[in-house]
Amino acid sequence: MIRYGILGFGLHAVRRLMPGFALASNSRVTALSRRDMKAAQASAAEYKIPHAFDSAADLCRSPEVDAVFVATPNCSHLQDVLLAIESGKPVLCEKPMGMKADECRQMVEAARQARLLLGVAQVFRFERSTARLRERIASGQVGTLVFARAEFSYPARTHPRKWLTDAKIAGGGPIADVGVHCVDALRYVLSDEIVRVTASGIWDQDSVEVETAAALSLEFARGTLGSVLVSTRAEYRTPLEIVGENGVLRAEDAFSLERPVEIEFRRGGGIIEKETVLNADAYARQADMFSSALEGNAEFQVPGEEGWQNQEVLDAAYRSLSSGKAEAVPLVEKKS
């Protein structure tokens, strides 16, 4: 049983991480940290977590913690990941991995030097819907790929994470927050890399520092053209569609955890086949697969290099927003 300490026990930990750990078979939370000790102790008591800290350093040094889950705001990921690594602890870091690609590079290099596992919590890689899409594409069901589309929208005007519109904390708007999910999912299901990005965005008076919506045009190494649409103003939507010469794979709620996901295979204007999958255990699978990797039983499928590559795509998108031009995406050298 791998014992986790959660740095930054906030809304995400309450809504997603703890229900996931409750379903996990080889992972449990033994410690948490919050900035206020009374709040930390209250959360620990509510979720029956043995140890509460108001210091990230104390949590990382605790002998009751085998691995650290970094769930702090984006601007703190670099310092928190490096702290955990310096304390000799493997780390699973929330997405986006950093504020810039150089931060991700620093994390990856520190983990390599310390010979510790660094993973990124791109939870949609652990969903059964994305796994099935990847398998179907690899089998050649849709033939030669032409287009790949992903969208992630949600209304954020009243979102509890008030720092979402603070560029110094969030690093960006929906491109960084949920666009990273779309980018990672497309890279994963296509088994291909994004080499060029062109982006356009929208801003409004309630979100001056960061974009409220954006459209990314992607070019993949093997020639597939992709698009990612993100927004913090539209209603919740997560459709994903892959278009090939022999048909179309589509899921209207591809990233949904709460309800069944229907994967449709379309050809000739009609639905040829449907498959229904459930993603409710995605967070549990994420934790248990990281634990399995720590025990030497398997490789974790989202190592730090994958988070770094995602960040290179995000950085290119933000460069494109400023330049108005297509921007190249550097390819990260994977660990041999």
Q: How high is the pLDDT of residue 78?
A: 98
Q: How high is the pLDDT of residue 79?
A: 98
DSSP string, 146-193: EEEEEEEE---TT-S-GGGG-HHHHSSSHIIIIIHHHHHHHHHHHT--
pLDDT tens digit string along 234-271?
999 999 999 999 999 999 999 999 999 999 999 998 99
Average pLDDT, the chain: 96
Q: How high is the pLDDT of residue 336?
A: 60
Q: What percent of the chain has pLDDT over 70?
A: 100
Reply yes or no on whether the pLDDT at 316 is more than 90.
Answer: yes
Contact 238, 256 (CB under 8 A): yes
For the ranges 130-139, 156-165, 193-202, the lowest mean pLDDT is seen at: 156-165
pLDDT tens digit string along 68-102?
999 999 999 999 999 999 999 999 999 999 999 99
- Verify cis geometry, omega within 30 degrees of 0, for the bond prior to 96: yes
pLDDT range class, residue 159, cuts 50, 70, 90: confident
Which carries the bigger pLDDT value, residue 335 or residue 216? 216
Which parts of the chain fold into alpha helices (H)?
Answer: 11-12, 18-23, 37-46, 56-61, 77-86, 101-114, 128-138, 167-170, 174, 180-190, 282-294, 304-323
Reply yes or no on whether the pLDDT at 119 is more than 90.
Answer: yes
Q: Residues in the chain, how many?
A: 336
Residue type, 16: R
Domains of the chain and any CATH numbers: 2-123 (3.40.50.720), 128-283+311-328 (3.30.360.10)
